[in-house]
Chain A
Amino acid sequence: MKYIGQSVPALNNRQLAAGKGTFVADIQPDGTLHMAVVRSPYAHARIRGIDTKAAEAVPGVVYVITGKEIRENMNPIMEAYDTAAMGAKGVKWYALCPERARFVGEAVAAVVAEDKWTARKAADLVDVDYEELPVVHDPEEAMKPDSPLVEPEWGDNILVTRDFRTGDVDQAFKEADGTISGVVKTQRYTGAAIEPRGYLANYDPFQDLLTFWASTQNPHPMRVFLAETLGIPETTIRVIQPHVGGGFGLKIPTFQEEPLLAYLARKLARPIKWIEERTENLLVGGHAREERLYYEAAYKQDGTVIGLRAKVIADVGAPSALCGWGQSFVTSYCIPTVYKIPNNRVQLFSVVTNKCPWNAYRGYGKEAASFLMDRIMDGVAKATGLGRPEVRLKNYIQPEEFPYSQVSGAMLDSGNYPKALKRVLQMIDYENFPKMQAEARKQGRYIGLGIGQELTPEGCSMPRSTLLSGYDGATVRVNPSGQVTVLTGVTSPGSGNETAMAQIAADMLGVDIKLVKVIQGDTDTCPYGLGNYSSRSVIMGGSAVQMAATEIRQKMLKVAAKMLEVGPDDVEVADGKFSVKGAPTRFVLFKEVASTVYRHCYGPEACDVEPGLESTRYFRHPNVYHQPETQGRFSSYPSWPNQAVACIAEVDPETGVVKVLRYCAVHDSGVVVNPLMAEANLHGGIVQGFGGALYEHLVYDEAGQLKTTTFMDYTCPTAVDVPRMEVEHQETPSPFTPLGTKGVGESGVTGPLGSLCGAIENALPHLDLRLSEMPLTPHRVWRAVREAQAHGGRA
């Protein structure tokens, strides 16, 4: 392969670095109007009335709309997940709340005006009469029988529950040599993409065509959602995704503003733009991660974990049409990740509160499961006196045991966990660390080493879901003069997978990558596909490109063979030439073959093949099981990348400040199409992991008010705060994809969580520190140190 496996620089680099990309905000048709949204200032309130007169009177205002008009003219927003099919409770979520707001920032009205300042000014004059209602702000309080309800019709605040069991967990606890228990608490945080959400909707009444430019991740599903919600035919909508400045899952539809803007554009028959402010993004652009994981683990003195009880309580915010609540399900689904534990009970409670709804955020719940297991393995090591690597090695699923069915039925495809762990320990020089640590102690410094293990299933696929399925499509077209166009159903949120698509097409067709052009994100020209999430672009989209390109190659081989007067099996293609195997001087140029097919379809070389050189193919991942009655299992994630990490951190016990000195990772996503881009993706994921481990926290008070609405308070790590990352790759191919790929998009976000907790505890061995609450801010670490000191060191 000339390109697959090579670090080809991203095709869009020059354009984006020059500032010449086209983002939604850059699109400005003549006469573009602007929308501003009126949002609830209360976490829970009934809307008694809305007075729009003052807003309407502002010069330059074109229209003011409230929830009443939305409910009369539109369906509830189509759900990303069919909650009923998942045994979960749902709600009718409208583009503007008609009666009741259930979180601060929920949209209740909107203004369209000639410019954005006028729209905002008028929006501030919309007078909404609210009646405040009791606020549900804590998930465990919300589970109590006397709690106020987020949704009165539900009868309780539980969106969904699960109860996965294997073996006999009660018996395992009886037989154990010892048990550990505790809780791990992850905080609410989000992705903070550099480009916030934005859309531009334009309606042509003569063609009955709504063109919707969106900073989104899923143009085709968005088209379906908009059609359903607005009650109009899909064929009257064209969704175009231009360049996107990061999505991380948070730009998966459908938010209120999307059908709202679409409706207004159709009504006013003028282009209308909406680009959110950063404060809006932090307030309502989708949250994630807030979970409490209670656990008990039963172990044998040799370090084997024989029983596990886990209870996941997730605070998913207010119910909506977004797919975010599924993350709580995924946390429970992944436990116990890479380990073989014979007796388990994993319970899930997804609880709704009066906070911003969850949307998908890189990691999608898998990070919490891996974090939990890291804490448990560290805890078992401490309790037995065994080494932390030793306990992990003892409990891993072994390489020869794949495919492996986990507690929830998840089917893990392949992996070599022991090899990755051993290598990362070599990288960080685990053997010599005690000496390093002692040297540092002599200088009055406290350093520690922590280990982390990621399991990041990819390619999510759910039954009867418009959004989540393990298939995707691609069109590959060889043009008359021999250049190649690739159109994919997958999209890129800024991660650069279009380069990988070009690599695959170029290799399958044997042409120079410079001749390949990739088009993504336009529902009019690209084949139906599900966009990007769950790292599926290379797995599903790349496989579809491989299939379509291969089909064209086979056709061209036949024609080239005729041109060379040999059998098709005697011809090969590379470097733009079809040549006779073993006789490379006998060749025809790729473009000559293309020309023959297009221009001489009645001639002897091309008369036996169908004219044209265009193929649209769909790839369906084989490692997905949605028919438990006949297949005996239900498994929705086909591909299971994993990563072993180790980090060395320095702690200042006087201030709680943690500094990461080294971070090493051995990553396995099967076959890697573009190592440079995979590495770039990993770096980004690891930085977000550090953000979650040390810095980022969306904080609500008891009234449901968000206290962190700007980057001053929502502190993301900057380039200066990020440590050096050392990443190596291991390739355990997937047995199920044509190229052996597994996807790399969500890896990196998990490792820092458990490894930093472990490193801090390791740095202060004289204290019985059990870090369990994130993020590890200086204040939190300081407090944990003080509490451990008050209890007199090791218990």
Chain B
Amino acid sequence: MISKEYRFEAPRDLGQALSLLEKYGDDAKVLAGGMSLVPTMTLGLVQPDVVISLNHIPNLDYVREEGNVLKIGALTRHDTIRKNELVKRHCPLLAEAAACIGDVQIRHRGSIGGSIAHADPAADYPPVMLTLGAQFRLQRTKSDRTVPASAFFRDLMQTALEGAELATEIQVPKLPSGAGSAYLRLHRVEGNFAIVAAAAVVEKGFKSVRVGLAGVGPKAVLVDVTSRFKGGLDDAAVKGVREDAAKASVDAYGDLNGDADYRRAMAQVYAERAVRAAVSRVR
């Protein structure tokens, strides 16, 4: 249970939220969907003095199309992303991943902003963000910058967010027409974190073949295997995918679900399977 008393702030606009974050600094934690924060507080792993809820700020929950990019508000819930027509049409990989997060209850509360800021090594969005080449808008009272996903995920649950910064928007480039994509994950029971996950995109003509991998190290990793596909999807390409996936999982960790050897092996299996599935969906 949460036995330590804390101050609860419910700002009504983004500016107020950013000021509060500036004011309280490390003493505060941000509450979006709460699907990561609340369990850590309940278990006593984190005991903030202040909780700043973003849930009363309007206009943080949206999916918009702007030219070649989909812009998604940080408070957009996973279930919204799963069902959204724009996402399904232009970034089906993102919808596919959103559908896998936790369970129905978690998907209705959890937010994309909260998930990427938390940066769990086994989370579902990070590998997808890397594969899609997403960018994140990070705001604080004095600045407003955009950081690519590749620079955002730094280390085990560590991101480029500086102190009083909030991720406010996720910008995802649309997939080129005809591209195939697939998200596959290995997990124990329904609702659990992935042991490993692979998010693959294959562009028409094998112009680009990329796989984002989660669960293979302290952070998600992007493996670009385009050069392996000069001859299309042949034995050499598959071998190449596995080799590159193995290299990318050199920092794989072991836990109750399996040791580092197992994760490295599964990274290779899932990278291959995700790429094959993506190939089969190329139109």
Contacts and interface: CB of A to CB of B under 8 A. Distances in A.
Interface of A: 116-117, 120-121, 124, 277, 279, 654-655, 657, 695, 697, 699, 707-708, 710, 712-713, 715-721, 777-779, 782-783
Q: List 6 tightest A-B contacts by C-beta distance, closest first.
A: A779-B258, A120-B3, A720-B190, A121-B3, A718-B190, A715-B189
Interface in B246-281: 256-259, 262, 265-266, 269
Interface in B160-213: 186, 188-193, 195
B283 interface: no
29 contacts: A117-B1, A117-B2, A121-B4, A124-B3, A279-B43, A654-B269, A655-B186, A657-B186, A695-B189, A708-B256, A712-B192, A713-B256, A715-B188, A715-B189, A715-B192, A717-B189, A718-B190, A718-B191, A720-B190, A721-B190, A777-B188, A777-B257, A778-B186, A778-B258, A779-B258, A779-B259, A782-B262, A782-B265, A783-B262
Contacts of A717: 189
A70 B68 CA distance: 72
A715 B191 CA distance: 10
B105 to A, nearest CB: 12
A657 B190 CA distance: 14
Contacts of A779: 257-259, 262
A695 B188 contact: yes
B262 A116 contact: no
B179 to A, nearest CB: 26
Contacts of B266: 655
A712 B186 contact: no
A655 B188 contact: no
Contacts, number: 54
Contacts of B258: 777-779, 782
A377 B256 CA distance: 31
Contacts of A710: 39, 43
Contacts of B191: 718
Given A117-B1, A777-B257, A721 B189 contact: yes
Contact-residue size bin, chain B (C-beta under 8 Å from the other chain)? 20 to 34
A778 B263 CA distance: 11
A716 B266 CA distance: 22
Contacts of B1: 116-117, 120, 277
B4 A707 contact: no
Given A655-B269, A716-B189, A778-B258, 15 more contacts: A117-B1, A117-B2, A117-B3, A120-B1, A121-B4, A277-B1, A654-B269, A710-B43, A712-B192, A713-B256, A715-B192, A718-B191, A777-B258, A778-B195, A779-B259
Nearest to A656: B262
Contacts of A716: 189
A716 B265 CA distance: 25
A655 B268 CA distance: 10
Interface of B: 1-4, 39, 43, 186, 188-193, 195, 256-259, 262, 265-266, 269
Contacts of A708: 256
A469 B128 CA distance: 60
Contacts of B257: 777, 779
B262 A707 contact: no
A54 B128 CA distance: 50
Contacts of A279: 43
A691 to B, nearest CB: 9
Contacts of A697: 256
A654 B190 CA distance: 21
Nearest to B103: A718
A500 B3 CA distance: 44
A212 B191 CA distance: 38
A789 to B, nearest CB: 12
A716 B191 CA distance: 11
Contacts of B4: 121
Contacts of A699: 256
Nearest to A696: B189
Contacts of B259: 779
A255 to B, nearest CB: 20
A570 B190 CA distance: 63
A707 B262 CA distance: 19
A717 B2 CA distance: 28
A793 B259 CA distance: 24
Contacts of A695: 188-189
A652 to B, nearest CB: 9
Nearest to A652: B269
A705 to B, nearest CB: 13
A562 B1 CA distance: 67
Nearest to A712: B192
Contacts of B39: 710
Contacts of A277: 1
Contacts of A707: 256
Contacts of B195: 778
A779 B260 CA distance: 11
Contacts of B265: 782
B57 to A, nearest CB: 28
Nearest to A721: B189
Contacts of B262: 779, 782-783
Contacts of A713: 256
Contacts of A721: 189-190
A716 to B, nearest CB: 7
Contacts of B3: 117, 120-121, 124
B78 to A, nearest CB: 18
A708 B188 CA distance: 14
A717 B188 CA distance: 9
Query: Most chain-A Cβ atoms within 10 A of its Cβ — which of B2, B39, B190?
Result: B190
A429 B2 CA distance: 54
Contact of B193 (A117, A121, A654, A712): A712
A116 B2 CA distance: 10
A579 B257 CA distance: 68
A712 B188 CA distance: 10
A277 B192 CA distance: 20
Q: Which of A654, A695, A699 has the most CB of B within 10 A?
A: A654
Nearest to B196: A655
A699 B191 CA distance: 20
B257 to A, nearest CB: 7
A334 B191 CA distance: 38
A707 B256 CA distance: 8
B36 to A, nearest CB: 11
A601 B29 CA distance: 77
B214 to A, nearest CB: 16
Nearest to B254: A779
B276 to A, nearest CB: 13
Contacts of B186: 655, 657, 778
Contacts of B188: 695, 715, 777-778
Residue of A695, A778, A783 with highest tally of chain B CB at under 10 A: A778
A158 B193 CA distance: 40
A719 B191 CA distance: 11
Contacts of A719: 190
A446 to B, nearest CB: 15
